[in-house]
Structure formats: C-alpha cells, structure tokens
A and B are shown apart, each in its own frame.
Chain A
Amino acid sequence: MLVVKGAKIYPGTGAVLENGVMIIDDQGKIREIGQNQSVGEADQFLDFTGKVIIPGLIDAHTHVGMWGDGEGRSGYDGNESVRPITGEVRALDAVNPRQISFAGAREGGITTIQILPGSGNPIGGLGFACKTQGTVIDDMVVKHPTGLKGATGENPKRAHGESQKQAPATRMAVASMIREYFKDAQIYGDKKKKAEEEGKPFDKDLNLESGLMVLKKEIPFRVHAHRHDDIVTVIRICEEFGIEYTIEHCTDGHLIAEYLGKKNVTAMVGPGLSAASKVETKDITDQNPAILARHGVNVCLMTDHPFLNCRYFLQYAAIAHKHGLSFEDTLRAITINPARALGIEDRVGSLEVGKDADFVVLNGEPFSYKGSIARTYIEGQLVWEREAY
C-alpha cells in the first residue's frame, strides 16, 4: 500500500483536489482518491506538498521503439514499404523496449503510448497500445491491436510511385487501393463465413484479416492525412464502408473544421512544434487544436515520435493551450481523450478508483515552464526522476 499526499491533483475527470490524497494498492491500482482524507496505515508515504499531480500522459500516435532513435539504420523498422498493402504486419513485432525513445517518453511524463507502423503504405499494418516501462514488450501491452494504420497523401506516393515506380503514384491510386483492400476484405469475410457455416477448411489471409477486423468494427482504421482534401477522402471512403476511423495528423483540419465537427471526427493532432517539412504540411499552425476543439472535433494531441521528440509532449500541449485550447481541453487532449480513442479508458487516462496509478509529479502548474516534470510513476512504481546534470 502506497499513500500519495499533499499535492494538488488534477484527476483528469472531475474536480481539482487541493491537498489531494491517493491510495495505491500493491497491484498498482488506485484504491482511493480524494482530498483531506485521513490516512491510516500504509507501507509507504509520499509527501508531495507544493507539487502538482496529473494523470500519466497518453501519446496516441508514436513510433517509439521502432524508428532507430539513436541507433541509426539498424534500428529502423518503421515502414514495410516494399509493397503498398501490408495489413498483415504488426508494430508489436518491431518494437525495442530498450531503445532510448522509451526513456524519453518516461522523461516526458508519458506512461501509455500507441505505436503504429509508418505512413509509407496505404494499408500499413496493425498498431497497439503499451506502457512505457518494461523489458518485454508483451508484458507492457495494454491493448493489441488498437487499429489498422492507413496513409494518404505524399508519403505513399513517394515511397512507391517515386521511389519504386509502382502504384500508388497519385492520390487517386492511394484512394483506389484502400477501397480495393476493403472490398477484398468484404469478399474474404463472406467466404470465410460461408466456410465456417459449411464446416469446410479455410485458408486464412492475414493481410485481409486486419481489414475484416475493421469492417466488423472491432478496431478502427487510423489514417495518416495532412492535406484537407486527403482528410475529406478518408472520411468519404470510411463512410462508404461504414467503418470507424480516426484522422491521424489532421494538419489542415483548421481549414475544414466545421465539416469535421459535423462528422464527429476524432483527430490525433500533431506532431506539434514542427516546421513545415512537406508541401502537404505547409499550412501547419499552432492554432489547429483550438480551432478543431471549438468546432466539436474530439482532439487528441500526439508527437508522432520521433518527429516531435516525445520528451516535449507537455510543451506541445502548453503551446496548444497558449493558442486557444482551454486548460481543461488541453489536459483532456493528452489524457482521457486518447485513452477513450484507443479503447483503454477502463485502465488509464484519469486518476479514478480502480484505474492504474499512472501519474506525473510536476514542480508547478502543468502548462507553465515552472511546472517541470519531477517524477513519473507507472502502476505506483517510480519510472523516472529528474536529476541535476
């Protein structure tokens, strides 16, 4: 039993707790949370008087552990871009928990991440959610799979049309290949169902199995889209098939925010703070999260690590807040919103009884430079502490 007391706690859902108390059981779950509670016996007390506690941050779109961070080419496993449709590949099979990016995530107060394949392929493979501490990835998994990665725009065109002189070379072909994939998955699903009904043997196609999961709404299609028309294309295709989706990046979202609000879109917005590295990101603005939220879009912030170093996730959130995202919306965009968007809100995303004791101890208010991260805890265990250089 661990008792955390003295700090001002933002639980993420519900009111702020001045002089908050959190009781954590031996399984790393929150047993009680409140303020001014009388605390009985405990194995360990942590007095964080003068500090601020927020839920462990959730970065809903990263390539932590698979992008060769500090390892060069030998550690790069982000894109299986030898062919454009790779529904069968899984990020889970390519993540190195010892890569420095995991330590960076803990330093940045991030306790849960979604790891997705890259955006080189129109159909890129399966992503998953995991905690940021551990040595065996399977022990760190919170949920697998969390979605099927898709991609539109410049990246698949460049990876295939430009680099390999094969389709897709245009946005038309990107859309067409995504459509054909789901049509194939539909036909495959029908055949599979028929074979099951007739009790006949059936050859599984792992590429189309992923599409079938999306068609059955077991997982959403998570589609990389920067330019406004790419975003609109994604929505068009997903509505044709009646599938659930999230818009990943959503850089031009501010140009079509009303449309996205009407469609109740969930957008993973980021990487923030970046320069416009491509033509399709030329209209990037720090005001995007605020404009989207104002129009009713469900906003989750994300770093797309390594494209924004995940150590600076909280700074990105602060800049989104500076440009008009309210304090509450900003905190939600890095905690409970991504938890819900990943379907893991029963375990993480806020500090509530029964949830994992994943939290960050700050030296001040979360979106101030005085509020530096002092400690990060996962399931009641200290996983990072700021030390003087």
Chain B
Amino acid sequence: MLGIRDVKIMTMTGGTIEKGNVLLEDGKIRACGRDADLSPCIKVIDGKGRVVTPGLIDAHTHVGLSESGVGREGTDTNEGTNPLTPSLSVRDGINMQDQAFEIFRRSGITTVGILPGSGNILGGTGLALKCKGAIVDEAVLKDPIGMRAALGENPKGNYGGQRKSPATRMGNAALLRGALQKATDYLDKLNHPRDEKGKTRDKDSEALLPVIKGEIPLIVHVHRHDDIVTVIRICKEFGVKCILDHVTDGHLVKDLMKRENIHCGVGPSMHYGSKVENKDRDFRTPVVFHREDIPFCFITDHPVVGGRNLILTASIATQWGLPDDSALKAITLASAQHLGVDECVGSIEPGKDADLVLWSGNPMEYTTFVDMTIIDGEIVYERGMYQC
C-alpha cells in the first residue's frame, strides 16, 4: 500500500479536495479524500500541499511508431503501399524503447492512444497503452480502440502522387465507402451462407467486421470542414460509429457537430499550418467546442507536436478562454472517454487505476514541474533522479 498525504486533489469527477490523502493498493485507487486513512501504508509520500491530478492522457500519438532520434529506421507509421490496410494492428509496430516513452513519463503522461499514420484511407487498428514496461502486450490497456481512417490531403497526396487512387477527395470517399460496403456484404454472406464461395475469407472485410457490427468506432483523421461532413455522411449510410481526430475546422460546422454529438480529439493545436487543409489552425476550435458543449479532448499527434507539450497545450487554451478545470479535463477524463477507457483511467476515484501525477504547483503554470508520476500504483518517474 502506498499513501500520499497533504495534497490538493484535482479529481476531475468529484471536484477538488484541499489537504487530502490518496490511498493506493494493488495498482488501484482505494480511497481519496480528507479522511482517507493512510495508517496501513508501508510508504507514505508527504505531498506538502502540492497538487495531485490523474495521469495525463494523450489520445492520439505515434509514440513507439515514429521513434524519437532514430530517423528512418525508427519509422513504422504508415504502410503507404496500399490505401486500404484495415487488417494491420498498430501493436505490431510499437517499440517500447522509444525514448519518447521516458519523456512522456517525465511529463506526467500515463496513458496514450497510438494509431497508425494517416496516409491510408483505412490504416489498421489503434490501441490504448500505459507508458510503462518493455513488453507492449503487458502495457496494452485496450486493443483495439477503433479502426484508423483518414480523409483529406494525406491519402490523396500519397497515392495521387503515384498516379493511383485515391487522387481526389471523391476517390477518398469512394474507397472508404467501397470497403464498408464490401464488409457489410461479407457479414451478410457470413450470416446467410448460400454456397461455398460465400465462405472465402477476406482479411480486409474480416478486420472491418467489428466496425460494421458497431463494436468499435472508426477513428477518422479530418481537418477540413467538408471532410468532417463527408465522414459523418458515410458513417450514417452504414450505421457505423465514429470519433474524429484533428477536427481543425470543427467550429465551422459546430451545429452539425453538436447535433451528432461525436467525440473529438482536437489538435495538435500548437502546430503550424503545415497543409492547406489545416491553414486555419488555432485555439478557436476547442474554445467553441467547450462553449457549444461538444465533447472533445486535446491531442498532440506526437511527434508532430512533442507529447511533453500536452500540458502546455492546455495552458495556452486557457489564455483563449477555456476555464482551467475544463482544460485539465481535456487532457485527462475527456481523453479517457475518447479512447473508451474511462472506466479505468482519467479521474481520481476509488476503484480506478492508480495513475497519478504529483505536481510542484498549479499544473497549468508553465514553470510547474512534474515531481512524480505513478502508473498502476508504481512510481515510474521521480524528479531529482534526472535533475542536473
């Protein structure tokens, strides 16, 4: 048992508790509050009035796939040889020794969403993972979280440049629609086998069955407003679920977003207008989403923006009018909801995973340090170990 005493606890679901204690047992949060009894603890960390938040969650990264400081050999992000590769699993491409994992722990990030790149219309399944350990299969929190899809410039740029389809947004949509149609027909044949031919295995349709059955969402890369509208149109045609990532132009179609109540991963907000489709990138989208009550979290798209800037992204958002607590929620609880893992992580509540960050002060302040990061009840980073 591990205890933390005398801390300001920002729980995300039960308000903020001043001068509270947190009790951790068997990798879970056992109790938190003013009266939480720490007497059975073997070790008690004295918080000295510092702040505890849930571990931060970056819901859209390529950590372990686009390795830091390794160059081309450490790049396994996009299987850019075929625009439809739904049978790929991101789990098979993650290097747990990517130095970024250590930087994430130092930055208070305890859970990440990892997705294939956005070069393909269907890129394979993504997963949620704890930033700990050396074995990917032991670090996985949920796999799959969804099927990676992409619209807009990336797929059409990748393949159009090779004189292959998709070369236009029409081609993007047609390929996505075609794959979903094929998988729908495939499921129909599986359910109503008429002859032996109906039993021919199709790996792509097989991989899309959980999407067609509504078990997992499409996680769709979209920037431009019309791409957002297109993906909603296609998903409705097939009755499949989706969540949206980037959503740079989301504020331009806010009424639709509000009506559909689709969860969005907004970002990387600190990046520049790297493409025409994200030229209007700024903090307008999250601020408008907050005002309109459209559910969203922040994403860094690491390494596009370094994951360690997740907290900085939230700080900057407050300068545009996002309240501090909403900004913090957008990198913890809302991120957990985005990934569908909010039963386990994202807030400080008894029964949830013991993923916590001890901060030297207000987490939003630029000069505040992560003093300690805890994942599943284990201290995975402590400042001082690395201080120079």
Contacts and interface: CB of A to CB of B under 8 A. Distances in A.
Interface stretch (B7-15, B193-201, B232-240, B280-288): B280-288
Interface of A: 69-72, 100-101, 104, 154, 273-279, 281-284, 287, 291, 305-306, 309, 311-312, 315, 318-319, 321-322, 367-369, 372-373, 386, 388-389
Given A273-B309, A275-B100, A278-B69, 15 more contacts: A69-B279, A275-B68, A275-B305, A276-B99, A279-B71, A282-B68, A282-B99, A283-B69, A312-B316, A318-B367, A319-B312, A322-B369, A369-B318, A389-B283, A389-B321
Contacts of A101: 272-273
13 contacts: A70-B278, A273-B270, A275-B302, A275-B305, A275-B307, A282-B69, A287-B388, A322-B366, A386-B319, A388-B320, A389-B251, A389-B283, A389-B287
A55 B122 CA distance: 49
Nearest to A104: B272
B320 A389 contact: yes
Given A282-B99, A368-B367, A72 B69 contact: no
A72 B321 contact: no
Given A273-B306, A389-B320, A72 B275 contact: yes
A277 B316 contact: no
B366 A69 contact: no
B276 A70 contact: yes
A72 B366 contact: no
Contact of B276 (A71, A273, A322, A373): A71
Contacts of A71: 273, 276, 279
Given A100-B279, A318-B367, A368-B366, A309 B270 contact: yes
Contacts, number: 106
Contact of B316 (A284, A305, A315, A322): A315
A338 to B, nearest CB: 20
B70 interface: yes
B273 A100 contact: yes
Q: Which secondary structure dominates chain A's binding surface?
A: loop
B306 A279 contact: no
A321 B367 contact: yes
Given A101-B272, A104-B272, A315 B306 contact: no
A270 to B, nearest CB: 13
Nearest to B68: A276
A60 B274 CA distance: 21
Give the 8 A-B CB pairs with smallest separation, nearest first: A282-B69, A70-B279, A70-B273, A275-B303, A372-B319, A276-B69, A318-B366, A306-B272
B312 A273 contact: yes
A237 B102 CA distance: 37
Contacts of A315: 312, 315-316, 366
Contact of A369 (B283, B288, B315): B315
Nearest to A315: B312
B364 interface: yes
Nearest to A286: B308
Contacts of B274: 69, 306
Interface in B213-251: 251
A363 B309 CA distance: 22
Contacts of A318: 366-367
Given A70-B279, A287-B388, A369-B318, A309 B68 contact: no
B202 interface: no
A322 B367 contact: yes
A154 B69 CA distance: 12
B343 interface: no
A388 B319 CA distance: 10
A321 B365 CA distance: 12
Interface in B71-96: 71
Contacts of A373: 319
Contacts of B388: 287, 291
B62 to A, nearest CB: 10
Contacts of B367: 318, 321-322, 367-368
Contacts of B251: 389
Nearest to B388: A287
Contacts of B276: 70-72
Nearest to A306: B272
B77 to A, nearest CB: 13
